Amino acid sequence: MRFNEKELFDKIYACWIGKSIGGTLGTPFEGRRELLDVTGFNSPPGRPLPNDDLDLQLIWLRALENYGPLALNERVLGEYWINYIPPNWNEYGIGKNNMKAGLPPPLSGDYNNAWKHSNGAWIRSEIWACCTPARPDLVTKYAYYDACVDHGTGEGTYAEIFTATVESAAFVEKDREKLIATGLSYLPEDCRVARSVRIVLDGYHKKLDWKTVREQVLKDSEDLGWFQAPANVAYVVIGWLYGEGDFKRSLLTAVSCGDDTDCTGATLGSILGIIGGYESIPKDWIAYVGDDIVSIAIDRGSMWNLPPTCTELAKRTLNMTRQVLLAHNTGITIGDGPADLGDLKKETLAAGDAYKKWFAGIDGSIDYDFIHARALVRFPEGIEIHGEKELGVRITIVNKMPNQQHYDIRYIVPEGIRVVEGPRHIAVMTSSGCTVNEERFDLILAADGETASVNRIIVEIAAIGRPTVMLIPLVLYGSVSR
């Protein structure tokens, strides 16, 4: 496949300016839970309103520029959260505070997080989609790295996978229902985001008016409460379908659904911008917000050289798009010649078997890469250790090399915690004709009386004949006896 550079830049720029327009349109109504009748902007003309939906993606761009397409992962993004994103709103604060206590992603987004089903992740998917045009299968990994930091394995993560795959596919597909079907193919059938989107599709096909469909979504999501991803993603889809291709009508409808209005308007603006390019966006609305980016949620004093305008953001995004496509050997090029989409079909964009196998393995495990092996850590019984109750930690070692590996294991535990059970040596098979390349074991720990509030444990796993030692950190919350 080949993209024409000017055409691709046009779509990327339209994505960002559409994001700015939608966020500015929706921000004054954010948090309003009633049905609204939004007819236009409610802010001064000539400059956009600040919006964290766009802000955070400037930090993700810098992380991608600094670490490159292959080294970037959830732990890199987690560290950037702590340094460069000051707000402690809802899941943002929970994810950061969990990381500061020693919990790495995705545990930082899963543990004690009442907002894991909320909107903070799917609103920041455009940077990943713009860097992986026509590759929704690839964008899912970046979307997961991003979302799991503050949403773990919750609906907020599913929501970002949905918007990211839709936006990636939108670079080469314009049909709304085909794009929605593509996004749904990457989600679990029974997740709440998929359920809410299907309510909208069903109502649209039955020719119900959008207000009735909104009420159905709202009623179905009552148990989750407000500012939650399933309903708000559905509001994006309501605006998209009932707007019938008109940019203004689509965004006004989505925002009029209420709730997290800056998010719904901004994301739909991005999707429509990618599909139709710059010419599809009303010029009076472009003039109303201008090209500037106004920040509210990031520390520009600590992170220098952030794009000040949507134009600069689009240029730097395109530069990273080249690198991401090349690094992952996608076979997609960007040049001066005419675009050539090859034999691209709907089936090419939908989730395939490789994705489904990868997605099935997302179980909340913390994933550590040690070059010759990976270590996956799960806490099936939680991370709190109290009194005499034993606590199990499940560790899986995946051999990445073509020969059998033998590992010696040592446990370094703080005062007040003891190892009840755990192997001191394991062997992991990987050789010609052998398909089993992993070994799983349970480490059983117990507290002896008084423990610290935060307890750090190291599992040291050394492969015989290899210099890289696996040092796996475990953090358990304890209680001080009185």
Burial 369-391 (b: 16+ CB within 10 A, else e): ebebbbbbbbbeeebebeeeeeb
Bond before 106 cis per omega within 30 degrees: yes
Q: For residue 90, give both structure tokens.
A: 């809802």
Q: For residue 414, give both structure tokens.
A: 């703080």
No. of helices (H) and no. of strands (E), the chain: 18, 11
CATH class of 365-477: mainly beta
Q: What is the DSSP string of 88-119?
A: --HHHHHHHHHHHTT--TTHHHHTT-TTTTBS
| Residues with Cβ within 8 Å of residue 246, at least 6 apart in sequence | none
pLDDT tens, position by position, 389-418: 899 999 999 999 988 899 999 999 998 999
Give the pLDDT score at 450: 81
| Residues with Cβ within 8 Å of residue 297, at least 6 apart in sequence | 50, 52, 55, 56, 85, 86, 87
Tokens 């117990």 sit on residue = 446
Average pLDDT value for the chain = 95
Q: Helix, strand, or coil here: 390?
A: coil
Give the pLDDT score at 107: 98
Question: Measured between alpha carbons, how far is 393 from 116 in angstroms, rounded to an integer?
Answer: 23
- Say if strands 333-335 and 2-4 run parallel, antiparallel, or are unpaired: parallel
Strands in 327-383 per DSSP E: 333-335, 366-369, 373-378
Give the pLDDT score at 387: 76
CB atoms within 10 A of CB 244: 10
Question: Measured between alpha carbons, how far is 130 from 139 in angstroms, rounded to an integer?
Answer: 9
Contact 147, 121 (CB under 8 A): yes
Burial 400-429 (b: 16+ CB within 10 A, else e): eeeeebebebebebeebbeeeebeeebebe
CA-based end-to-end distance of the chain = 67
What are the structural domain ranges in the chain?
Answer: 2-359, 365-477
| Residues with Cβ within 8 Å of residue 293, at least 6 apart in sequence | 20, 48, 54, 55, 58, 307, 308, 309, 310, 313
Question: Measured between alpha carbons, how far is 73 from 286 in angstroms, rounded to an integer?
Answer: 34
What is the separation of C-alpha 255 from the centre of its chain, rounded to a whole number of angstroms?
23
CB atoms within 10 A of CB 43: 14
Q: For residue 340, give both structure tokens.
A: 């050539």
**pLDDT < 50 regions, the chain:** 432, 481-482
Give the pLDDT score at 344: 74
Contact 2, 337 (CB under 8 A): yes
CATH number of 2-359: 1.10.4080.10
Tokens 């340094």 sit on residue = 83
What is the separation of C-alpha 266 from the centre of its chain, rounded to a whole number of angstroms?
16
Give the pLDDT score at 430: 66
Q: Helix, strand, or coil here: 371?
A: coil
